Amino acid sequence: MIRLLLATTNAGKQRELRRLLARVAADVVTPGEIGLSIEVDEPYDTYAENAMAKADAYARASGLLSIADDSGIEVAALDWGPGVRSARWGEGRNAEKLLEALRDATDRRARMVCVLALARPGTPEPLVEAFTGIVDGTITHDHRGSGGFGYDPIFLVPGGLTTAEMAESEKDLVSHRGQAVAATMDRLRELLVEP
């Protein structure tokens, strides 16, 4: 069975991607499980460039088919930011900082964006492809739910629940990462059967 490397050290993303990729015929592994420790900068202004850089670096370092994610939240009242800077924007208290920034905002529209990049190791260059998932919603006024991670407790999807209040199977159908994995699936299955 071909090994598929999750090109992230983020435990929340690892759990979610493992769950989303459970139906593919691959041995899904993390960097820690194969003894790989690398740092990859994310200097770019687009999710795709950052995800592709990570997938490429992990595929080169491991020699394995690698899948990387870059994702973020975009909020209308913040001129559709923080975007690609979402993970670092709140300095460890992202959801709280976003709620503070929107304290007096009437326009609470938001969207979660995820770009997944697949990198197949090769000579001289890995083949890297990107796939996108987007879900529209709004920002709540307070934390709701105990599931998920990151911005999940304050991101309200149509239907009235935050992604932190949803069952994992329900969240996987509508989340930005779930949609990106769904978009990736046909190509991923092709790569997993190629020699």
Q: Which residues are catalytic?
A: 70
User: SS3 string of 52-97?
Assistant: HHHHHHHHHHHCCEEEEEEEEEEEHHHCCEEHHHHHHHCCCCHHHH
Q: How many CA atoms lie within 13 A of 36 on its CB side?
A: 22
Are 70 and 84 in contact by the 8 Å Cβ rule? The answer is yes
First to last CA, the chain: 11
- In angstroms, the CA 41 to CA 121 distance is 19
